[in-house]
Chains A and B, each alone.
Chain A
Amino acid sequence: MEDGKPDVLLDVSAAVPASGGVVRVTVAGRGQAAERLAMDVAELVRTAVAQALASGPALAAMPEEAIAASPPEANNEALAPAPAHQAPTDPVTAAAPVFAAPAVAAAHPKPWFQRHRSRISGAVGLFLIALALMIPLLVPVSMRREILPMPIGLGLAGAISLFSALLPEPQRGHARTKSQVRMALPVKTDAKAPALRAAPAITKPQSFTRRVIGLSFGGALALAGLIAPFALPNVSADDRFLMMLGFAPIALIGVFLLWVFLRRPPALAAPAQSAAPRGTRSGAALTGASGALAALGVMLGLVVALVVLATVLPLLNAQP
Chain B
Amino acid sequence: MAFSFVIGLLTALVSGAFAWIVLTRYFQRRGAHMLMWGLGLVLYFIAGATEALLAFGWNEIAFRLWYWSGAIMVAAVLGQGTLHLLVRKPYVAAIFSVAIGVVAVTSLVWMLTVPLDASKFLPGDDLGKFLTESYRSILPQSPVRRVLPPVMNIYGTILLAGGAIYSAYLFARKRVLPQRVLGNTLIAVGGILPALGGSLIKLAETTPTLSEWGSVIKYLGIFVGLVVLFAGFQVTASVDRRALNGGR
Q: Which residues does A use to contact B, with CB under 8 Å?
A: 236-238, 240-241, 244-245, 248, 252, 284-289, 291-293, 295-296, 298-299, 302-303, 306-307, 310-311
Contacts and interface: CB of A to CB of B under 8 A. Distances in A.
Interface of A is mostly: helix
Interface of B is mostly: helix
Given A237-B114, A245-B106, A299-B98, 10 more contacts: A287-B91, A288-B91, A289-B94, A292-B97, A293-B35, A295-B94, A299-B104, A303-B104, A306-B105, A310-B112
B17 interface: no
B94 A292 contact: yes
B32 A289 contact: yes
B90 A237 contact: no
A240 B110 contact: yes
A237 B142 contact: yes
Contact of A293 (B32, B114, B115): B32
A289 B110 contact: no
Given A285-B90, A292-B84, A299-B104, A240 B113 contact: yes
Closest 10 CB pairs of A and B: A288-B90, A299-B101, A292-B94, A288-B91, A237-B114, A244-B106, A241-B110, A310-B112, A248-B102, A295-B98
Interface in B87-112: 89-91, 93-94, 97-98, 101-110, 112
Contacts of A286: 90
Contacts, number: 85
B200 to A, nearest CB: 26
A206 B234 CA distance: 49
Contact of A292 (B90, B114, B144): B90
A291 B101 CA distance: 13
Contacts of B97: 292, 295-296
Contacts of A298: 101
A299 B105 contact: yes
A294 to B, nearest CB: 9
